[in-house]
A = this chain, B = another copy of it.
Amino acid sequence: MALAAPGRREQNKLEKRGRIIAAARALFTHKGFDATTSQEIADAAGVAGGTIFTYARTKEDLLILVFHDEMMEVVERGFVAARGSAGLLDQVIAFFETMVVYHVRDVPLARVLMRQLGYVGSEEQLTLVQELMTRVLGRLAQLVEAAKGQGEVDAASPLLPSARSLFAIYYYHLGALLNGYLDRSQFDRNLRTDLGVLLRGLG
């Protein structure tokens, strides 16, 4: 029994961590971020109030923990969707479309999430956010590279800057959508227009 020694503590920690994140996910989704108290999360996870904050420094950290994995998956789904389209513009739009569909399922929560992505408040957050950004830009760069192979994009166009610019434009419009400046159809149109402006610079 002593063999499991170096695992017992870690095991408990991991399991507890899982319960806390699951509880937070359920409550954030059901009641909203602001309306959920850290005490409620603690109760739902079966731990004391203060324990929450040994697993996440702040409530926002918890939000990032909750959604990091989901977002990584969404990006992968978006990449698959992109490969199902023809032409870089439509591919990129399919990619972003997947992410938008995910975000509009819960706009208030997506807003809080987006705010936090732009205001990293701890080392843990930094790691998770950077991982996510690297993945997104990497996938976009792959799409641009493939388009180069098709002769659709100038071979001289730098990959990472192109990916960054694509993302920057998407991100700007996503903010406008989530903040209610744009409705969905305006968003789609503006995004296509602006990405088109950029692509003519890549071709």
Binding site for B on A (CB under 8 A): 111-112, 114-115, 118-120, 130, 157-158, 161-162, 164-165, 167-169, 171-173, 175, 179, 181, 190, 193-194, 197-202
Contact = CB atoms under 8 A, between A and B. Distances in A.
23 contacts: A111-B119, A114-B119, A115-B119, A118-B118, A118-B179, A130-B181, A161-B193, A161-B194, A164-B169, A164-B172, A164-B194, A165-B165, A168-B168, A168-B169, A171-B172, A172-B172, A197-B201, A198-B201, A199-B201, A200-B201, A200-B202, A201-B201, A201-B202
A69 to B, nearest CB: 22
Nearest to A115: B119
A130 B201 CA distance: 29
Interface secondary structure of A, over-half rule = helix
Contact of A165 (B158, B162, B181, B194): B194
Contact of A194 (B168, B172, B193, B194): B168
A66 to B, nearest CB: 18
Contacts of A120: 179
Contact of A198 (B111, B115, B171, B198): B198
Nearest to A162: B197
Q: 7 tightest A-B contacts by CB?
A: A201-B201, A168-B172, A200-B201, A115-B119, A168-B168, A168-B169, A161-B193
A58 to B, nearest CB: 12
A112 B120 CA distance: 11
Nearest to A201: B201
A158 B165 CA distance: 18
Nearest to A172: B168
